[in-house]
Amino acid sequence: MDIKLRPEQPGDQQFLFALYASTRAKELEHVPWSESQKKDFLNLQFNAQSTHYHQHYPDAAYQIILSGQQPIGRLYVDRGPNEVHVIDIALLPEFRGGGIGGDLLRRLLVEAAEKQEAVQIFVERENPARRLYTRLGFRVVEDKGVYLLMKWIREPDFKTSSIP
């Protein structure tokens, strides 16, 4: 697959909302609300999340993941002075589990290793992506209740080829 990244643009909002909604679909399956109520709730949550990200990470790279020219996900990364923070990575359901997220994260790990930086990500306890992060060498460093803070730290004898 021809996977590329490009900066997020104002015209991406409809796609980004659909992507966000897809990440919450399973959670909302059992909620006894009408489809209209679910959409209203998702709109509120999506807007709150977007506002939070942009307020707390104004210098982050907000990127759209493309397969060819088709938007299939998002990758939000804040590069600090000593650490890379993966704010969010999400793919449309039909692109999950195929190695795309892992490849993008490996690229970030290589980048961080070259600069001798750590990489961190918050993940919900029940998120299946947590297994991927663990395989890549992320470890839980803090329990935040619903979320776990996971961190990847370059080992002294690290070689790029050692990233699974």
Mean pLDDT of 36-48: 96
Per-residue confidence band for 27, with pLDDT thresholds at 50, 70 and 90: confident
Phi, psi for 147 (deg, rounded to 5):
-105, 150
Would you give the distance in Å from CA 145 to the centre of its chain?
A: 19
For residue 35, what is the domain's CATH number?
3.40.630.30
Nearest to 86 by CA among 67, 65, 113, 104: 104
Distance (Å, rounded) from C-alpha 122 to C-alpha 146?
A: 10
Task: Give the number of other Cβ atoms within 10 Å of residue 129's Cβ.
Answer: 18
Average model confidence (pLDDT) across the chain: 92
Note the pLDDT of residue 12: 97
Phi then psi dihedrals of residue 137, to 5 deg:
105, 5
**How many other C-beta atoms can be found within 10 angstroms of the C-beta atom of residue 40?**
12
CA distances, 154 to each of 86, 88, 93, 135, 150 (Å): 16, 21, 31, 14, 13
pLDDT at res. 162: 57
Contact criterion met (CB below 8 Å) for 141 and 149 = yes
The pLDDT, as a whole number, for residue 148 is 96
The yes-or-no verdict on residue 161 having pLDDT over 60 is no
Structural domain span for residue 115: 3-162
Give the SS3 label for residue 99: coil
Number of domains in the chain: 1
Secondary structure element (H or E) that encloses residue 74, with its range: strand 70-79
pTM of the entire predicted model: 0.92
| Alpha carbon distance 9, 155 (integer Å) | 37
